[in-house]
Amino acid sequence: MAKAFKYGLKGITGHLEPAERELLRGLIDDVVSMLEPSQAADQDPLAALVGLDMDVRQPTDRALLRLLPNVMKDDDAGSLEFRQLTERSLRESKIGALRAAAMGLDRKELTLTQDEAKLWSMALNDIRLVLAERLDIRDEADADHVHAMQDWSQAEDVESYLALVYNFTTWLQESLVQSMMAAMDRR
Amino acid sequence: MTTTVATAIGVDVEERTETSEQSSTAVLAAPDIPWNLVVWNDPVNLMSYVSFVFQSYFGYPEAKANKLMLEVHRKGRSIVAYGAKEQVEQHAVAMHSYGLWATVEKASSAGTGKGGARG
């Protein structure tokens, strides 16, 4: 059974069962594969090197758009221009956090430094954002509705299963953030 | 897989602890600064996490971070930083890397926000 993250003498520690680790690995893989840039064959290597991507477009997938939002509310052209300059590195930093969390899952002891904990919290947040889009969580009422699903015996279809997974990652992230706050207080 | 995780879920508790709104001086009002960084509310991000990001990334004290977080939560948006365009754009990318929904806007078009107000 998973234990909530806590901050103590050994730092930030948690405990996850093999099946829970497997679940998180799967979620991480899913989000990483969404974020991996589709590499165009005719990509200018120098542009790629400095992180430019002139072929980039606003994502059509809502979940991906939530991970990589427009930087200006009412200026699509300005947002696209900014995207060309920054999206590639944003994708890479998100993938980096997700991979760091995946590596942590391979360790027997779940003891995290503050830096690792931060990467984990970013990774869990992106996982939750994607799950929330798939669950169609648009407002607080939707969120409450999903949150009410707490019993795994209720998992009878994909949606209820996703809701339970979402609540599990929410619980995990909340305990992690509380631990990071506690660690920050004692610096 | 389900049963193992089920037990974990049984432990329960996502507590979105609301820290009481503490007073913080009006640091948001500053003249002659052209761009604002706006963070928007969404039903997914944890209140604790948003506050953590404000503390961790901007180095804001807990009281100020909570105040801004609650403003996002209650009013739907909050101006959390301002400065030169390039600077707030850099902040916006950082917010996106944390998974917060952030945009930049000219201070004059701030609309509902109070950050654009001249001190």
Residues of B whose CB is below 8 A from A82: 89
Q: Write out residues 90-119 of B within 8 Å (CB-CB) of A.
A: 92-93, 96-99, 101-105
Let me know if residue A51 belongs to a domain.
Answer: no
Kindly report the average pLDDT of chain B as a whole number. 75
The token pair at A65 is 């758009």
Centroid of chain to Cα B10: 31
Q: What is the pLDDT of residue B19?
A: 40
Does pLDDT of B39 surpass 80?
Answer: yes
DSSP string, A106-153: TSSSEEE-HHHHHHHHHHHHHHHHHHHHHTT--SHHHHHHHHT---GG
Of the ranges A91-100, A126-135, B10-19, B82-91, which one carries the lowest mean pLDDT score?
B10-19
Does pLDDT of A133 surpass 80?
Answer: yes
CB B78 within 8 A of CB B17: no
Let me know if residue A7 belongs to a domain.
Answer: yes
Let me know if residue A166 belongs to a domain.
Answer: yes
Nearest to A64 by CA among B114, B99, B49: B99
CB A31 within 8 A of CB A126: yes
Domain that holds residue A167: 3-40+94-185
ipTM: 0.92
Distance from CA of B107 to the nearest CA of A (A): 13
Query: pLDDT digits over A107-126, tens only?
Result: 988 999 999 999 999 999 99
Distance from CA of B118 to the nearest CA of A (A): 22
Does pLDDT of B11 surpass 60?
Answer: no
Among A23, A86, A184, beta carbon nearest to B93: A86
Calculate mean pLDDT across residues A92-118: 96
Distances (CA, A) of B40 to A156, B65, B110: 34, 14, 13
Give the sheet arrangement for strand B77-83, strand by strand: B77-83, B35-40, B102-106
Query: pLDDT digits over B41-69, tens only?
Result: 999 999 999 999 999 999 999 999 999 99
Distances (CA, A) of A136 to B37, B60, B105: 27, 33, 28
Domains of chain B are: 44-109 (3.30.1390.10)
Distances (CA, A) of B119 to A136, B29, B30, B68, B86: 41, 5, 5, 18, 23
Let me know if residue A57 belongs to a domain.
Answer: no
Let me know if residue A49 belongs to a domain.
Answer: no
Let me know if residue A82 belongs to a domain.
Answer: no
Q: 3-class SS at A21? A: helix
Domain count, chain A: 1
Of the ranges A34-48, A163-177, B21-35, B36-50, which one carries the lowest mean pLDDT score?
B21-35
Does pLDDT of A6 surpass 70?
Answer: yes
Residues of A whose CB is below 8 A from B44: 128-129, 132, 137, 143
